[in-house]
Amino acid sequence: MSNPLGKIFSAPVDTAAALGKPVLSGGVELAGFAQKQLTNLVGGAGTGRFAAFISYSHSDIAFARWLHRAIETYRVPKALVGTTGDRGPVPARLRPVFRDEDELPGASELGPKLEGALARSDALIVLCSPASARSVWVDKEIRTFKRLNPDAPVFAVITSGKPGDVDQECFPRPLLFALDSAGELDLGQPLEPLAPDLQKNDRRIVKLKLIAGLLGTSYAALFRRDQRRARRIAAALGAFAFFLILVLTGLSIAAVTYARMAVQQRNEAQAARKLAEENADKAERRAWLAQTAAQEVRRQADLLGQNGGDCAR
């Protein structure tokens, strides 16, 4: 069985460069490299990359579920697929997206599953609210992501609260300050996060802004392409609806026509049955008249025979 630690220490080391650096700096870099490699090795099931990691407080789980589904099911317009964006070739889909539904354990660290997912994520999306601003776990996830992926983008979305308000602050502190080499907040480097606000903007606009950031394209270009696609889909649906209306109209006309024919045939059948009944009554009456006439003839014949016998005597 191969030793997984060998992958860490088998990396080439530039001795001359290392000697020219302070020992402490080299030790910090080596420790960071070793931690990242260990995280990749033990970071839970699977070794694939995630398009994004969604960090949120459990009180924002409804927004997290919507955003997760919205990003993974979004189809990038064909005109943009394969073009070069700020983050490389634009893919057709942004998935998978990592979102942990489980309650975090009562431990002081995130655990290998979450650290592994953070290390393998290309971007971080933070759902900002007063609850997430107070969440220890959201704070840890942002710090860990920034430490493991210092060049990866971090996106914020406001679900509730108000930035800068003492009682309704929605931004976690790691979004407001950069991190130093030790992974602590550098209060001397404040940040000004730009975040679409779900309280003010339509969900579709917020979704497109996030997706544009994840793809590395401009929001205006993505919005125009998405609008064109929406118009094409609407036109196709309109044409299909018109065709369906024509088919239903034809079927309705045929149904009315067949209904009228059925009523006419029923009336004709009823008239024929009535005529047959009348003819049957007439036939029965004629037969009765014929029988009555025959009986009368026989009776008259019998009377004539009796009268003739009397005359002969």
| Mean of pLDDT over the chain | 81
Residue 233 has pLDDT above 90, yes or no: no
Tokens of 4: 């997984």
Residue 66 has pLDDT above 70, yes or no: yes
d(CA 198, CA 5): 45
Residue predicted with more confidence, 184 or 109: 184
d(CA 115, CA 109): 9
Residue 121 has pLDDT above 60, yes or no: yes
Would the pTM of this model clear 0.85, i.e. be above it?
no
Q: What percent of the chain has pLDDT over 70?
A: 81
Cβ–Cβ under 8 Å, residues 86 and 153: no
SS3 89: strand
pLDDT tier for residue 106 given thresholds of 50, 70 and 90: low
In this predicted model, what pLDDT tens digit does every residue of 49-65 receive, in sequence order? 999 999 999 999 999 99
Q: CA-based diameter of the chain, in Å?
A: 175
